[in-house]
Amino acid sequence: MTADDRYGSAAEMRQALERLHVREDWVRRSPESWEAEIDGRMHTMQVESGKIIETVYRVNGRRRNDNCSKAGSVGEAIAAQERWVYSHTF
């Protein structure tokens, strides 16, 4: 980051933050688990490892296969979770 990339003042930074619109408010519960309450329903994303390592997405405890993914390692699964959360937050 260079000086040109920074806000001119704290007030400018605050204004930029106030313009952000959070679509889904995800909360990290552990390194391998996220959750959010969306439209009154609990959404969770959990890394599950066994023979297969995968990111499992559930709504009110029910698996949603369209939002689940397999990974080659726990680290890859955690990275996939972070990309998901980022893309669905702002």
Task: Write the pLDDT tens digit of every residue in 31-43.
Answer: 999 999 988 999 9
Query: In whole angstroms, what is the distance from residue 19 CA to residue 3 CA?
Result: 22
Question: In what helix (H) or strand (E) does residue 40 lie, and over which residues does it extend?
Answer: none
For 69, phi and psi rounded to 5 degrees?
-150, 150
At residue 45's C-alpha, the angle toward residues 42 and 47, to 5°, is 150
- Asked if 41 and 31 touch (Cβ cutoff 8 Å), the reply is no
> What is the pTM (predicted TM-score) of this model?
0.73
pLDDT value at residue 80: 93
CA 49 to mean position of chain CA atoms:
19
Low-confidence ranges of the chain (pLDDT < 50): none
